Structure 1
């Protein structure tokens, strides 16, 4: 179940949020993700917000599916970038072995900790073997609301890596840093780059 207050914050602040993401400069992390995709590959922008990343993926020749829980963000994505967003939650991740990559850029941090393994399993199922998964999270412990009322779950490095490995991913790169977010607070973050291991073969 999506946190209604979190969605309301993004609905109300959609334009301000989108304006902060507007830039003519390439985002190196996104460009590297796109570079790793096969030509014409299919990707999922999970928690796409105003659609800027999905638009860039499509501009570079990928087939991008965009999913976000905020109707206001979806409307902005269509208005600004011509990106059609499927309005839904992390529980609406569907499909089996259809994506070459999943981009989860500071989106899954809004999922409750108890639901996180379920979402990782759905992402792994949706990815092809060898597909790329990029997940960015705020680092820390526990879960709760920030000063704007948005719900967050926090993870340490080894816990997050262990959860990805348990879901069928092999982490090949780890990044760390801190930035000032939408709430104006300096927060530490962790970004993991992983590939999907082959799914287990069901016994015949």
Structure 2
């Protein structure tokens, strides 16, 4: 079973595990760069938790997830239409003022991350803001039935700088998302520059 298959099979359990996670602090840091009514793409929206929060704050949100079953649950939870699409199929041309990717790219293999980042950057308007978080570490491979790719802060900074189109605004580390107390997440905010 591939990673998307995993999310399809265990969608209900994943929904229950993640829908109540407190992401308020990260969302607030991200939305400080935006104005009410701005467009946000929620990459790998999962339960739709963050999409709903942004929508309730007055943003124009487009939730997107590659798992068909997660999309169904997110639509029920948010009342929003959710795009069932893989990152490599995205073809947005400067549509969004902000792209939110909370642990959205953690399953993308390192040898595919550049092309996915290219599509993410294309989706952003000039001056748009990108939020991403990754698991901190240097592991890449299958773990608990899914493919994971971790990053160190240095490696993540290098990845973003090498695009030549992003200017890092802020980078910080927090404790993980509750599953593992030793796990840390690296968060980054970057602005699209011409």
TM-score between both structures, scaled by the size of structure 1: 0.87
State the Cα distance separating 1:180 from its structure 2 match: 5.1
Give the counterpart of 1:150 among 127, 146, 152. 146
Contact 1:180 1:186 in 2 (8 A): no
Tell me whether 1:164 sits opposite 2:139 in the alignment: no
CA RMSD of aligned residues (A): 1.9
Q: Mind listing any 5+ residue stretches in structure 2 that lack a counterpart?
A: none
Q: Rate the CA distance shift 1:181–1:145 in 2: closer, same or farther, 3 A.
A: farther
The aligned residue for residue 202 of structure 1 is: none
State the Cα distance separating 1:72 from its structure 2 match: 1.0
TM-score between both structures, scaled by the size of structure 2: 0.91
5 Å matches for 1:75-86?
A: 75-86=72-83
The aligned residue for residue 67 of structure 1 is: 64
Radius of gyration: which is bigger?
1
Greater mean alpha carbon deviation, residues 84-93 or residues 7-16: 7-16
Please give the secondary structure, in 2, of the residue aligned with 1:38: coil
Q: Mind listing any 5+ residue stretches in structure 1 that lack a counterpart?
A: 199-204
The aligned residue for residue 100 of structure 2 is: 103
State the Cα distance separating 1:157 from its structure 2 match: 1.0
Q: Rate the CA distance shift 1:67–1:188 in 2: closer, same or farther, 3 A.
A: same
Query: Residues of 1 paired with 2:145 and 2:30: CA distance?
Result: 31
Please give the secondary structure, in 2, of the residue aligned with 1:100: strand
Segments of 4+ in structure 1 off by > 6 A? none
Q: Rate the CA distance shift 1:91–1:26 in 2: closer, same or farther, 3 A.
A: closer
